[in-house]
């Protein structure tokens, strides 16, 4: 007979011995800076890519027009009961209009969207083909589904093509699942090619998670699908509102029939209290300003390219083509040491370790942000060059 608490303790000791123990750190925020352990650091670990969450003026403007009637901190029920405040409809209408799609549906988080949609749209006779590096929430969505699933080699179109040719005739539906900008490597899916592949088979649908591209890519900041001109070919285009757009929640833009189906089948949509309506209002507020933020997007792009170029010159292998820049270290303990060193030098960078990334690929993950100054950028480059 085993003592359950002893089992937990043993598991924690094992994680600690591998250098993979996670703990919650305490941090105080001030704009793009973060204070921890008596040190002021530029936050290079958040997803506030455009610096909007750090922007006081943006919040002040929103608050100016907010009355106690508008400030609803709770929706008090699921949207299918009494929680469907008009703020959700307004946000969804705005999203659908921006994307030029028939409809949009908002979820409480990207995690809820990804774990909810995949099980909802698949049956036992279906197959999900997901990129090897998709986010944990998509993996959990596949695990919860009754469908069979298989992961294709990262961004490997030949592998996917072979799998499709083999399996498409044998399954009812196939769902191809990918991210547009990958959260850990910062590289991009070949979206146009994925669309072409999907179009070869009438029973294949495409699901694209734009968590790290929404707000940042494309003329109006709608993401990589806007940039590549393929919004209309993507069956489930998901974005999160808690990253570049500084709010909370997530959405999928899709056909009306898809939305109606999801409302009836996605369990993390049906069986949960809706987001606070004030959050939906805030999302709408930020969304409204998004198309005008191309200067911020360009700034982030310039900073990212500069760092890519430095890494290339130093012959450091880095797959990134975006603002997410992994510096591969390998060993977990060494990655933690390097992260702490950068923190001592004023940059809040964290080590990303297994199981978030594959064994032996612990890394520092730098998330660049549009509000980094030129002077800060030069110091980041010096740090990285060490």
Neighbouring-strand partners of residue 327: 364
Q: Which is nearer to ligand PLP, 110 or 223 (CB)?
A: 110
> Measured from the CB of residue 208, what is the shortest distance to ligand PLP in angstroms?
10
Question: Are the CB atoms for 316 and 327 separated by under 8 Å?
Answer: yes
Report the residue number, 109 or 258, with the smaller CB distance to ligand PLP.
109
User: Of all residues in the chain, what percent are helix, strand and coil, respectively (each to 5)?
Assistant: 40, 20, 40
How many other C-beta atoms can be found within 10 angstroms of the C-beta atom of residue 325?
Answer: 25
Question: What is the distance between the terminal CA atoms of the chain, rounded to a whole angstrom?
Answer: 52
Q: Is 179 a catalytic residue?
A: yes
Q: Under the rule (CB under 6 A), what is the footprint of ligand PLP?
A: 109-111, 114, 135, 137, 179, 183, 209, 211-212, 240, 242, 250
Selected catalytic residue, list 48, 103, 135, 210: 135
Active site residue 47: yes
Nearest distance in Å: CB 202, ligand PLP: 28
20 is catalytic: no
Task: Determine which one of 209, 226, 227, 383 is catalytic.
Answer: 209
Catalytic residue among 43, 183, 322, 332: 183
Rounded distance between C-alpha atoms, residue 201 and residue 204, angstroms: 6
| Nearest alpha carbon to residue 384 among 369, 368, 373 | 368
Is 109 one of the catalytic residues?
A: no
Least separation in angstroms between residue 8's CB and ligand PLP is 25
Q: Residues 173, 198, 228, 243: which is the catalytic one? A: 243
Pick the closer one to ligand PLP by CB: 103 or 109.
Answer: 109
Residue 177: both structure tokens together: 């699942």
User: 371-378: which pairs have CB atoms within 8 A and are 24 or more residues apart?
Assistant: 371/31, 371/32, 371/50, 371/51, 371/54, 372/32, 372/42, 372/303, 376/42, 377/303, 377/306, 377/307
Nearer to ligand PLP, 271 or 337 (CB): 271
| 8 Å CB contact between 319 and 337 | no
Distance (Å, whole) CA 47 – CA 279: 18
Residue 167 is a catalytic residue:
no
- The CA–CA distances, whole Å, from 324 to 112, 185, 349, 367 equal 23, 7, 12, 5
Active site residue 161: no
Output 300 or 383, the one with its CB closest to ligand PLP: 300
E strand spans, the chain: 28-30, 33-36, 39-43, 103-107, 127-131, 148-152, 174-179, 204-209, 236-240, 250-254, 324-330, 347-348, 350-352, 362-367
In the complex, what is the shortest distance from the CB of residue 90 to ligand PLP, in angstroms, rounded to a whole number? 20
In whole angstroms, the minimum distance from the beta carbon of 223 to ligand PLP comes to: 12
List the catalytic residue out of 20, 43, 47, 155.
Answer: 47
Question: In the bound complex, what is the minimum distance in angstroms from residue 74's beta carbon to ligand PLP?
Answer: 19
- H helix or E strand, kind and range, residue 158: helix 157-167
Is 166 annotated as catalytic?
Answer: no
Of 46, 45, 51, the closest CA to residue 339 belongs to: 45
> Which of 171/279 has CB closer to ligand PLP?
279
In the bound state with ligand PLP, the residue whose beta carbon lies nearer, of 98 and 250, is 250
Residue nearest to ligand PLP (CB): 110
Residues with catalytic function: 47, 135, 179, 183, 209, 212, 243
């Amino acid at each position: 007979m085993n003592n359950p608490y002893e089992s937990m303790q043993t598991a924690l000791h094992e994680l600690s011995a591998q250098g993979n123990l996670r703990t919650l750190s305490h941090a105080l925020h001030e704009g793009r800076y973060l204070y921890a352990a008596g040190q002021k650091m530029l936050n290079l670990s958040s997803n506030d890519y455009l610096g909007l969450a750090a922007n006081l003026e943006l919040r002040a403007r929103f608050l100016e027009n907010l009355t106690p009637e508008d400030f609803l901190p709770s929706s008090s029920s699921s949207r299918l009961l009494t929680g469907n405040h008009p703020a959700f409809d307004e946000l969804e209408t705005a999203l659908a209009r921006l994307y030029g799609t028939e409809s949009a549906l908002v979820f409480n988080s990207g995690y809820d969207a990804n774990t909810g949609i995949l099980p909802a749209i698949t049956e036992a006779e279906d197959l999900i083909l997901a990129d090897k590096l998709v986010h944990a929430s998509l993996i959990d969505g596949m695990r919860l589904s009754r469908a069979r699933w298989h992961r294709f080699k990262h961004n490997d179109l030949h592998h996917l093509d072979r799998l499709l040719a083999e399996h498409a005739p044998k399954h009812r539906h196939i769902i191809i699942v990918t991210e547009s900008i990958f959260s850990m490597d910062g590289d991009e899916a070949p979206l146009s090619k994925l669309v072409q592949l999907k179009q070869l088979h009438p029973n294949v649908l495409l699901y694209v998670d734009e968590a790290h591209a929404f707000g940042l890519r494309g003329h109006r900041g709608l993401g990589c699908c806007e940039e590549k001109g393929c919004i209309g070919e993507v069956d489930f285009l998901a974005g999160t509102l808690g990253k570049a757009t500084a709010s909370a929640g997530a959405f999928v833009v899709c056909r009306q029939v898809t939305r109606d189906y999801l409302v009836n089948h996605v369990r993390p949509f049906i069986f949960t209290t809706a987001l606070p309506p004030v959050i939906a209002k805030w999302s709408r507020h930020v969304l409204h300003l998004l198309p005008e933020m191309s200067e911020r997007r360009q700034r982030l792009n310039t900073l990212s390219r500069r760092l890519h170029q430095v890494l290339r010159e130093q012959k450091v292998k880095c797959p990134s083509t975006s603002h997410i820049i992994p510096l591969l270290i390998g060993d977990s303990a060494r990655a933690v040491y390097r992260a702490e060193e950068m923190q001592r030098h004023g940059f809040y960078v964290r080590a990303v370790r297994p199981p978030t990334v594959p064994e032996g690929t612990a890394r520092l993950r730098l998330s660049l942000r549009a509000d980094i100054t030129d002077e800060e950028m030069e110091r980041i480059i010096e740090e990285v060059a060490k």
